Amino acid sequence: MKNRLYFTSNHPKAQAHALKAIQKEQKEIGYYTLPDQDITPILEYAEKIPDSVESIAIIGIGGSSLGAKAIYEFVKPVNDLKRRLYLFESTDPIDINATLKEIDLGKTHFIVISKSGTTVETFAIYKYVYSLHPDTSSYTFVTDPDSPLDKYAQEINANVLYVPQNVGGRFSVLSPVGLFPLVLCGIDIGTLLAGAQRVKESFFEQGYMQEPLLKKAVFYAKHHAQYNINCIFAYSESLKYFCEWYVQLWGESLGKHQRHSAFHVGLTPIGLIGPKDQHSFLQLLTDGTRDKSITFIKIENFEEGMIIPDISLPHLESLDILNSISFDTLINMQCDSVIESLEQEGDIPIDSITLPKVDAYTIGSLIYYYELLTSLVAELMDVNAYDQPGVENGKIILKKKLQKTKC
């Protein structure tokens, strides 16, 4: 994984401050240690799931589902996976019904994930599914110790996995929240964690990843008022759901009141997929308001070997320049051409991340890279990356409305 910055950021004092701050918070924030965890209990429990199970279904929302979905969808196209993953992550009745039609309830293992143990959306869906299939052996629950969900699971003698201490939902994909459904699908979670571990070592042990991460974080924080929109422009359809995960991570972690002032701050996340979004959003990036920074993500080797045939078409001879070019080469040339065009504008902050290939190691690296970047930017913007007070009031209002329906 390589990160190249096309903008200048030289603030050694701010970089040193950010590094010291997250070195210190490693003692309190749990996600930093997830690459080092012993996954033996997860692997042993996964072996107990019967071979007759054909599908895995997550019932969860936000941080309970987006990370596993991002990793699964990244590696699925290039792997012959053991089981298919389904997600119940919306109270949209059409979506729920459509997903239920795709699975055989008797051959599905359901993973109900709620860190708090009281997520309204999750339990609305769980109650419905459970009413159709009340076999408790078909469910595993993932939650905090002693949560209401933990107590419920103990009451019905169901299996429970726990979210590690001080790991927030949107930072939990490398915990049992993501690892258990992924290993059941046949994804090598050891390799996934090894990719995250590589980035961790490269950053905290003065490796190649530290300087670009720190410079990038400082630039985003120091210019957050001007460049208040951050775009990922990923040149692979396999990264579509990674972009969704990033939107939650970035938005919920950075959109806050500052700790030591009354100011509202944040960086609005946007996920784009190339080359198709070249034909829509690129116009805005090029000629629109200068309020956006852009990270391009490309894959060095797709390992597909598909070549555009050496065919000349009547009246389309000008397109013979495509002949005998591999699709790997074409999509990366498209990405590089857009980078070059935006760099020529001179006032658009750009950087690029090059991933070596599509596999579990690579996505593990990218996940951990973005978690680190989020923590660094939050520290420099003077916000708490790990709470979400802005969403709590909506939950309170919803529960009051639900209570009124019972009166």
Residues designated catalytic? 252, 279, 395
* Cα–Cα distance measured from residue 3 to residue 296, given in angstroms and rounded to the nearest whole number: 10
Token pair recorded at residue 351: 């950087």
Q: Which residues fall within 8 angstroms of residue 234, CB to CB, at 6 or more apart?
A: 240, 242, 243, 271, 272, 273, 274, 296, 297, 298
Residue type at position 97: N
Place of tokens 């919920």: 252
Strand partners, 108: 55
Beta carbons of 325 and 267 less than 8 angstroms apart: no
Whether the upstream peptide bond of residue 93 has omega within 30° of 0, thus cis, is: no
Token pair recorded at residue 270: 């946007």
The sheet carrying 139-143 orders its strands as 84-88, 55-59, 108-113, 139-143, 159-162
> What is the SS3 assignment for 197?
helix
